[in-house]
Structure 1
Amino acid sequence: MIDAFNARLKARKLLRLLDDERAALLSGRLAALPALSAARDQLFQSLGQSGRANAKALAEYGQAIRNRAERNRRLLGAALEGMRSSSGLISQASGPGALQTYTASGKRVPVDTGQAEAGRRT
C-alpha cells in the first residue's frame, strides 16, 4: 500500500516537473532547465524500476507523462531552432560591412558602427 502511494506520488511529481520545465521553456528561463532535467531523469529512473506499484502508477499516469514529455521535446526543439536562427542573424549583423546606407547621390556606403573604438577609453 505504501509502495503504491509512493509510486503515484512520484508520477504526480514527475508531471509537475514536466509542467515546470514547460513554464521555464516558455518564459525563457533556460538556466533552470539543467536542474529540472536532473530531477526529471531521477524520477523517470525511479519509476522505471521493476515493481508492481511502479507498473500500476505508470499504467495510470504513463500516457499523461508521455504527452507532456513530447510537448516539452517540441518546445525545446523550437527554442534551439530560435537560438540558432538568432545566432546566425547576430553574426551576419556584426560582420564587416554588415550595415550599409546610401548617400544623397544613391551610392551604397558601409556604416561605421564604432566597434573598433568600443573598447577604447577617452
Structure 2
Amino acid sequence: MKIAVTSQNFLTITPHAGKCRRFLILGRNEQGELVELDRLDLPKEMSMHEFKGLQHPLFDSDVLLTASAGQGFIRRLQQERVEVICTSETDPYRAADAFLEGEPLPAVEADAHHQKSAPIMPKFG
C-alpha cells in the first residue's frame, strides 16, 4: 500500500493539499517496517489546484494523509480511487502507521477556508 503525505518541508504533515507540491510516499518494506518509498517535489503546474491532465503521480497512491483539503481535491482523488484523510497528527510516520494499524487518526478542526456553509441572508422588515 502506498501512502502519500502532504509535506512541504518533507518533515511534517502540512495543510492545503490542493496547493501542495511536496509529498512523502510511505509504505511497508519486505520486513514490514514503515519506510519512505519516494518523495515527490513537483513543479507548480503539477499541484492539484493547477493540474488539468489525466495522469498525476498522486493517483498511484492508495491513501493521502493531509492536514487540510478542499472538497474539490477530495472528489478528484476519490475519482482516482485515492482515499483522502485529514488529520491533526503532524508526524507522517506516526499517522501512516496508525492508519495501517486501523487506529483512528486525530481529527482536524474545521477551518473557515474549507468549511462549506450557506450564506447568511439579510432580514428585511
TM range (shorter): under 0.3
Give the greater-gyration-radius structure (CA): 1
Normalized per residue, the structure richer in strand is: 2
TM-score normalised by L of structure 1: 0.26
Normalized per residue, the structure richer in helix is: 1
TM-score normalised by L of structure 2: 0.26
